Structure 1
Amino acid sequence: MLVLVVDSATPAVTAALAEVSDDAVVVRSQRRAVDARAHGELLAPAVEAVLAEAGARPRDLTAIVAGLGPGPFTGLRVGLVTAASIGQTLDVPTYGVCSLDALGLLDGKVLVATDARRREVYWAVYEDGTRLTEPAVDLPATVAGRAAELGVAVAIGEGAHKYAEVLGVAARDEPLYPPAAALAALAADRVRAKAPGERLTPLYLRRPDAVAQSVRKPVLP
């Protein structure tokens, strides 16, 4: 079963094609570009590129897997709208995966932290791939206290590197961003079971930077 994987919850814009079989998940092609200001410009060409590289056509797709975040409003929305649109157009199911879960799919106990801007991080703690805390957005100093309480000694993700001194734990070099293979693996059981498609609900965790005014200002004649 051929699955399109997309994630735009971080500055990395990711698209990949994964083959999901009864006992394995294999990434056949993938593209990743890191640019926090160009999610909209980069994702569609990346999807076209991975299809072309694998010699596949859109109608060959069995399902769409999308990273749900948490992530900044604009970039995350690009990935989810793209995934939902492709799924609807092709009449194939869409499955969502927490983007932090893809980074936390590792052995041992690890703090996953991605950059949330505003000097904050999106974070969660995992043990052997199982999430121990709910995704949250906090100041690095707050996260450091929680990590210490939970006995975490290793961190991963872009936020872990950016705020390594404050977090007070060793930051692993890779991966910095959610791996396509892990996103596909986390949705593989649903793909194999041909589960009903899901509404792709983003994990924003906070309000967007731009909000509509709640009160209209009077206009002077």
Structure 2
Amino acid sequence: MLILALDTATPAITVAVHDGERVVGEARGEGAMAHGELLAPAIRDALAQAGATMDDLTDVAVGVGPGPFTGLRVGVVTALTLSGSLGLAPHGVCTLDVLAAEAGDGELLVATDARRKEVYWARYVDGRRVEGPEVSKPADLAARFPGLPVHGRGGRLYADVLAHVPGVDDPSAAALAGLVARGEAQELPLEPLYLRRPDATPQVSTKRA
């Protein structure tokens, strides 16, 4: 087994190569608008570090979000392309699950930046997602789960409202690959998981007689 794992659902572009027992190559970059430019070099660097080529891969795992449209789409389309062209076994995983895998046990929230002063979030108990993912205003999330620890960049950005726990801000492809290798991932289709309220709602006009 040789898994290529990647996630582009947040400003962090993260890639890892996992041989079924451990991470053997890893690379990352950051840039909210540079996912398309940074992902391919990161894949190249992670494979080089692992001493492997595309032909050695057996599986591809990708964080399917939630996340902003452009960045998220880059990762999912890349995974779909690699799966189809190389015959790799595909694994889609909620990006919030990847963060939760590094957050520890107990009841907690994971939140990432959804922009527009909102966060993508999910609730976990001992690493298992029990609610979400959803998108909410930080104040609404705090009111819904008062005092519940919040891990991730979304919690840090709104630490004045949410009970943020310092630590891991962004998902790690290494953690994603580990979940898949251990058979612990709640797998999803390789489709971008968009959670966004409409920017506009249809207006209903009343005709006058």
Measured against the shorter chain, the TM-score band is 0.7 to 0.9
> Structure 2-normalised TM-score?
0.87
Q: SS where residue 144 of structure 2 aligns?
A: helix
Q: 1:100–1:112: 8 Å Cα contact kept in structure 2? A: yes
User: What is residue 18 of structure 2 aligned with on the other side?
Assistant: 18
Read off the aligned partner of 1:205 and give its amino acid letter.
L
Deviations for 1:100-141, whole angstroms, at most 9, x for unmatched residues? 001112211211010000000000111110112110001001
Residue 178 in structure 1 maps to residue 178 in structure 2: no
Read off the aligned partner of 2:142 and give its amino acid letter.
A
Aligned pairs for 1:40-119 within 5 A:
40-105=36-101, 106-119=104-117
User: What is residue 122 of structure 1 aligned with on the other side?
Assistant: 120
Residue 200 in structure 1 maps to residue 190 in structure 2: yes
Read off the aligned partner of 1:156 and give its amino acid letter.
H
Q: SS where residue 10 of structure 2 aligns?
A: coil
Gaps of at least 5 residues in structure 2 are: 200-209
Q: SS where residue 49 of structure 2 aligns?
A: helix
C-alpha distance in structure 2 between counterparts of 1:100 and 1:66, whole Å:
12
Q: 2:114–2:120: 8 Å Cα contact kept in structure 1? A: yes
Q: 1:68–1:96: 8 Å Cα contact kept in structure 2? A: yes
C-alpha distance in structure 2 between counterparts of 1:113 and 1:62, whole Å:
31
**Correspondence for 1:160 among 141, 155, 158:** 155
Q: SS where residue 19 of structure 2 aligns?
A: strand
Read off the aligned partner of 1:201 and give its amino acid letter.
E
C-alpha distance in structure 2 between counterparts of 1:49 and 1:208, whole Å:
38
Q: SS where residue 76 of structure 1 aligns?
A: helix
Aligned pairs for 1:124-143 within 5 A:
124-143=122-141
Q: 1:93–1:198: 8 Å Cα contact kept in structure 2? A: no
Read off the aligned partner of 1:122 and give its amino acid letter.
Y
Q: SS where residue 107 of structure 1 aligns?
A: coil
Q: 1:125–1:147: 8 Å Cα contact kept in structure 2? A: no
Q: 1:14–1:180: 8 Å Cα contact kept in structure 2? A: yes
Q: Displacement of 1:190 after TM fit?
A: 5.3
Q: SS where residue 42 of structure 1 aligns?
A: helix
User: What is residue 203 of structure 2 aligned with on the other side?
Assistant: none
> Structure 1-normalised TM-score?
0.83
Q: Displacement of 1:183 after TM fit?
A: 1.0
C-alpha distance in structure 1 between counterparts of 2:137 and 2:188, whole Å:
32
Describe the shift of the 1:87–1:186 C-alpha distance in structure 2 as closer, same or farther (beyond 3 A).
same
Read off the aligned partner of 2:121 and give its amino acid letter.
W
Q: Displacement of 1:15 after TM fit?
A: 0.9
Read off the aligned partner of 2:179 and give its amino acid letter.
L
C-alpha distance in structure 1 between counterparts of 2:126 and 2:174, whole Å:
17
Using the aligned pairs only, state the percent identity: 52
User: What is residue 9 of structure 2 aligned with on the other side?
Assistant: 9
Q: Cα RMSD over matched residues? A: 1.9
User: What is residue 205 of structure 2 aligned with on the other side?
Assistant: none
Gaps of at least 5 residues in structure 1 are: 192-196, 210-221
Aligned length: 195
Deviations for 1:135-183, whole angstroms, at most 9, x for unmatched residues? 00010011101222xx62x21101100001112x1x2322111122321
